[in-house]
Amino acid sequence: MAKNVVSLLNADGGILAYGVRPNNGKVYGETITRREQDVLTNSTIDNALKRIVPSVGVDLYSVFFTKVKDQEDKFVQVVRIKVAKGKQVYEDLEHKVCQSIGPSITI
């Protein structure tokens, strides 16, 4: 995830959507409880963001879950990345600088 966030930070921002098929854009979602949503947001995403230098401020990203239409128990996780002001270049802890070609990456 860190590589994808770095790509969007170094481009024009964008959205990572988990629960969408990359080849056809079909939304399938994932069955996930509220507690699991909190764990994903507070540990998985935060840990990925800690792998980026310089650090990513909370004003540059938002995380939310949206229900899949007609499937109440299925959710898509969305990570929205904003562009930082200025010409900051972000990299992961392996010192890899990545850049996105398009506005969004679907995983």
Global pTM?
Answer: 0.74
Angle at 103 between CA 42 and CA 1, to 5 degrees: 30
Domain range for 63: 2-91
The number of domains in the chain is 1
> How many other CB atoms sit within 10 Å of the CB of residue 23?
6
For residue 79, being part of any structural domain is answered with yes
For residue 103, being part of any structural domain is answered with no
Cβ atoms of residues 29 and 19 within 8 Å:
yes
* CB neighbour list of residue 13: distance below 8 Å, 6 or more residues apart: 80, 81, 82, 83, 103
For residue 67, being part of any structural domain is answered with yes
Q: pLDDT tens, position by position, for the chain (107 residues)?
A: 788 888 888 888 888 888 888 788 888 899 989 899 888 888 888 888 888 888 888 888 888 899 998 887 899 988 888 876 666 788 887 766 665 555 544 43
CA distances to 41, 47, 86, 96, 106 from 78, rounded to whole Å, are 10, 16, 25, 24, 10
